[in-house]
Amino acid sequence: MEYTTTLLTGFVALYIFMLAAFTGFEIIGRVPSILHTPLMSGSNFVHGIVVVGALWALVNASTPLEQAIGFFGVLLGAGNAAGGYVVTERMLDMFKPSDKKKT
Residues 9 to 38 in contact with other proteins, rule: CB under 8 A? 9-10, 13, 16-17, 20-25, 27-38
In terms of C-beta density within 10 A (0-12 exposed, 13-18 middle, 19 or more buried), how is residue 54 classed?
A: buried
Neighbours of 74 (CB within 10 A): 20
Q: Least distance from C-beta 12 to other proteins, angstroms?
A: 10
Q: Least distance from C-beta 26 to other proteins, angstroms?
A: 9
Q: Least distance from C-beta 6 to other proteins, angstroms?
A: 8
Please tell me whether residue 97 binds other proteins under the rule CB under 8 A. yes
Q: Least distance from C-beta 27 to other proteins, angstroms?
A: 5
- Footprint of other proteins on residues 65-94 (CB under 8 A)? 65-67, 69-94
How many chain residues are in contact with other proteins, going by CB under 8 A? 89
